[in-house]
Structure 1
Amino acid sequence: MQADFKKYQAQTSPHPLAMEISHANGSYIYDTNNKAYLDFVAGVSACPLGHNHPKVVKAIKKQLDSYMHVMVYGEYIQKPAVELTKLLSEHLPENLEKTYLTNSGTEAIEGALKLAKRATGRSEIIAANKAYHGNTMGAMSVMGFEERKQAFRPLLPDVKFIDFNNEAHLNKITTKTAGVILESIQGGAGFIEPTPNYLEKVKARCAQVGALLILDEIQPGIGRTGRLFGFENYNCVPDILVTGKGLGGGLPIGAFTASGKLMDLLQDNPKLGHITTFGGHPVIAASALATLKEITESNLIEETLEKEKLFRELLAHPLIKEVRGKGLMLAFLTPSAEITNALILKCEKLGLILFWLLFEPKAVRITPPLTISKDEIKEGCQIILGVLDEIQQTTTSK
C-alpha cells in the first residue's frame, strides 16, 4: 500500500507522513497495526465532532437511503441543503441571510471574490500579507506568501496587500477596491488574532469607500474559538462570510454567505454567475446539518474556552515560547523549526498527532476535535512535555 500510495496518488510534499489508516473514532485515529493515535489536529480543523460521531453517521446513512446527487446546484429543492442554509441564517446576523454551498473552502473563496467584483463593478481586491485562503488560482492570488505563488504566475491582476493589524495600511482601501479579504484569525501565519478594534476599523473603511469586507472563517468558524464564528469575538460583521472545513463534520464542504440582495446578483447578468455540479450535495449537507445542530444545541462551544485554559496551563515548558490563538484554535511556538519538526515527528511515534502551520515554521498546531475530553488533553500534553524534555536534554548535552 505504501508503494502504491507513492506511485499512483499525487503527493503534496516530498515527505508525506504516510500513516496507513484503518479506522477512526472519537479523538483517536488507528493505523493498520491497530495502534491508536490521539488526534490533536482533527483533520486540520475539519472534524469538530471528532471521528465517526454517531449523530453525523446516522444523518449520512439516512440520506444515503433516500438519494444522493440528482441535479446541479440550485435547481431542485433538496431538504438537507435548505435546512442547513436556514439554520446558518438563524445563527448569523441579519445581513448574512443567504448561503451558497460549495465543495470546498477554496471554491467558496472564489465565489466570494466574484461576488465582491459583481456587486461593486470594481476589480481591485485587497488581501493581507501571510494570508492563506486556499490554493485555486483566485484564492492563491490573495495568498500573501510569494514563495508559494511564484511558480504559478500570472495570477489575478489588481490584487494588493496590506499587513494584518497595521491600521496605517487602511488608507490603501479606496474607491477602486471591490473587496477586502481577511481571515478573522490568521491561520497559516501562526494563529494571529486581530488587535482590539482592528476589524471594526477595516469594516468602517470599507463602508466609507463602498468596498465589501470578506471574512474567511474556514478555520476559526463552527465553534472553534468559543463562539460559533470567530468574527463574533471582535465586534465586526462582514459583508460576505466564508466557511468550510468544520462545517462538513468530516465531509468536503465550503460556503459563502451574504445578504439576499448581494447573493441574488449571481442569478442574472450573467445568469449562472457562479455554478457547481456537486455543491450542496445532499449527503454532505445532511452531515453538515447534523454537525451544526450538535454544536449549537450542546455545550461544546462554551467548553472550548475551558479547554483552552487547560491547554495553556499544561503547555508550560522552557521550549514553548508562546501559545497563540483562541479556544481550540491554538498554536505554540518553539525556538526553532528544527525543534518543531523533531517534536511533531517524535510525538507521532508515541501516538499523538500534531501538525505544522503553513508559513510559521516554528509553530505547532493544536486544533483537536471540540469533543476532546480533559483527560485526553492531559494525556496529549504529557506526551508533548516529555518529548520537549528529551529535546532539551539532547540540546543541552551538545
Structure 2
Amino acid sequence: MNLRQLFLQHVAQTSAFPLMLEIERASGMYLYSPDGKSYLDLIAGIGVSSLGHCPPPVVEAAKAQMDRYLHTLVYGEFVLAPQVKLASLLSEQLPAPLDSVYFVNSGTEATEGAMKLAKRYTGRAEIVACKKAYHGSTQGAASLMWPKDFTQAFHPLLPGIRHIEYNCEWCLQHITAQTAAVVVETVQGEWGVRKPLPGYLKQLRRRCTEVGALLIFDEIQAGYGRTGTLFAFEQYDVVPDILLLAKGMGGGMPIGAFVASRDVMLALSEKPILGHITTFGGHPVSCAAALATLETLLKEHYIGEVKAKEALFLELLQHPAIVEVRSAGLWLAVELPSFGFVQRVIGHCLAQGLITDWFLFNDRSLRIAPPLIITAEQIQWACEVILDGIAIAEQESRQG
C-alpha cells in the first residue's frame, strides 16, 4: 500500500473527508508535496508556524538542545536551562503580576491547568465562558464550548459551566461571587475573528475584580504577534489574572503555558502538593525552540509589519460576493455567502497551490492567518488566487 492508503488505514481520522495532501518537506512560507508542487501556507498550520516552516533559529536551537539532553524527569523537579530561560524572558515581556509560568504541551492543556488553578485559588466551582469560543477539545476545555454541536455526543461534561455572549455588557451580571473564573478569548477566533468592542474588556476586568473571580485571557491563537503586538491584550489596556499561550509559542514545536502571579500559582503546590503535574510539559527541546521563537520575534521586524500587511489584505480583498472582511492583524475572516461557497473557494485555492481553511463556528468565512514572514508579493498573489476562486464559485452558484 502507498502512504496515503496507510494513512487512511492506520492514522486515526477526525473527519470523513481529510485533505489528503501529502507533505514531504516545508520551508518558510511553503509546504512541498512529493512531486515537487509548492503550497503557500495561508493559515500557518492553524496559527502555529508564525515564523514560517522550519525557521533556522528555531531548528538550530532544537538541534543544539537535542545534543545536550531530552526528557529528564517530570516537569518541575529539575532546574533545566531551556525552561528557566524561556520563563524568565516571557515574564519580562508581561506586565505585573504575570511572572510565574507553568509549561504544558498544548493549548487545551493550558486551559485545563488554568481551570484547576482558578478553582483551587478561589475555592469556587463555577466557570464562565463565552459562546462560540474554542479553548480545546479535552473534556474540561470542551465543557466551555457552546453551541454543543461538537460536544453533545460526549455529555455529560463538567458541571458548573455558565455561558455568556461575547461583547455583551449586560451579560456580565452573570459573573457573581460564585464564579471562580471567566475564560475569554481576547479576540474570538473560531467565531470568525471577532474583536472586543471598545471598553468591553475593561468592564469585564472590573466585574471580575468586584466579585473576586479570576480573569483568564485565552491567547492561544491571538498571542505571539498575530494581532500586531506580542500579546493581543496589550492593545486594550487590560491585564488578566491568568494568560493562556500555545500554538505560535513553539515555532512549530508542541508547547503551551498558563501564566499567573507567583502568589496565585502557588495554590497548585500545596493542599495537596502536586496539584497539577505533567510528564512532558516544558520538554527541553520544545522550550529551546520556544525561546528561539520569542527571541526572534523580539529582535526582528515581523510584529511591527503586521498592521501594514493587514491593510494590504484589506485593500486587495474586494469583491461583490464578499459579505464582510473582519481582521485583527494578520488574522482575517473573509465571509462568503455559504459553506458550499467557501468549500469551492478552498478547493480552487488548493488546486492553485494555496492553503486556506474555514472556522469551527463560522463555516461561511475563509480563514487567513499566514506566517508573519509573508511578503507583500505573496499577499498579492494569494489575494489574486482567492478572488479568482470567488469569481468561479459565484459563477457556479448562478449556474446552479
Same fold (TM > 0.5): yes
Whether 1:321 aligns to 2:330 is no
Matches of 2:275 and 2:198 in 1, distance apart? 37
Matches of 2:7 and 2:282 in 1, distance apart? 30
Which segment is superposed worse, 174-183 or 327-336? 327-336
Question: 2:238 corresponds to which letter in structure 1?
Answer: C
Give 1:288's aligned residue: 290
Question: 2:270 corresponds to which letter in structure 1?
Answer: D
State how 1:184-203 maps to structure 2 within 5 Å: 184-203=186-205
Whether 1:377 aligns to 2:387 is no
Aligned length: 398
Matches of 2:329 and 2:115 in 1, distance apart? 28
State how 1:219-368 maps to structure 2 within 5 Å: 219-368=221-370
Question: 1:272 corresponds to which letter in structure 2?
Answer: L
Matches of 1:209 and 1:395 in 2, distance apart? 52
Give 1:114's aligned residue: 116
- Counterpart of 1:12 (choices 6, 11, 14) is 14
Matches of 2:115 and 2:236 in 1, distance apart? 23
Give 2:88's aligned residue: 86
Matches of 1:36 and 1:58 in 2, distance apart? 24
Question: 2:298 corresponds to which letter in structure 1?
Answer: T
Partner secondary structure for residue 10 of structure 1: coil
Matches of 1:330 and 1:389 in 2, distance apart? 19
Matches of 1:388 and 1:169 in 2, distance apart? 38
Output the TM-score relative to the length of structure 1: 0.99
Give 1:160's aligned residue: 162
Matches of 2:322 and 2:194 in 1, distance apart? 17
Unmatched segments (≥5 aa) in structure 1: none
For each residue in 1:328-371, what CA deviation from the matched residue of structure 2 results, as whole angstroms up to 9, or x when unmatched?
A: 11111001111101001111011000011101010111000001
For each residue in 1:23-65, what CA deviation from the matched residue of structure 2 results, as whole angstroms up to 9, or x when unmatched?
A: 0000000011110001101000000000011111110110011
Question: 2:280 corresponds to which letter in structure 1?
Answer: F
Question: 2:274 corresponds to which letter in structure 1?
Answer: L
| Fraction of identical pairs, as percent | 50
Give 2:76's aligned residue: 74
Matches of 2:398 and 2:280 in 1, distance apart? 55
Give 1:150's aligned residue: 152
Question: 2:390 corresponds to which letter in structure 1?
Answer: L
Matches of 1:330 and 1:380 in 2, distance apart? 13
Output the TM-score relative to the length of structure 2: 0.98
Partner secondary structure for residue 377 of structure 1: helix
Matches of 2:240 and 2:181 in 1, distance apart? 11
Matches of 1:147 and 1:52 in 2, distance apart? 35
Matches of 2:4 and 2:399 in 1, distance apart? 37
Matches of 1:373 and 1:211 in 2, distance apart? 43
The Cα shift of 1:397 comes to 4.4
Question: 2:168 corresponds to which letter in structure 1?
Answer: N
Matches of 2:300 and 2:146 in 1, distance apart? 37
Partner secondary structure for residue 181 of structure 1: strand
**Cα RMSD (Å):** 0.8
Matches of 1:397 and 1:111 in 2, distance apart? 52
Matches of 2:53 and 2:68 in 1, distance apart? 24
Give 2:395's aligned residue: 393
State how 1:127-142 maps to structure 2 within 5 Å: 127-142=129-144
- Counterpart of 1:217 (choices 200, 216, 219) is 219
Quick one: structure 1 residues 262 and 20, their matched pair in 2 at CA, closer, same or farther if it must change by over 3 Å? same
Unmatched segments (≥5 aa) in structure 2: none
Matches of 2:234 and 2:146 in 1, distance apart? 24
Whether the 8 Å CA contact 2:310–2:327 is kept in 1: the answer is no
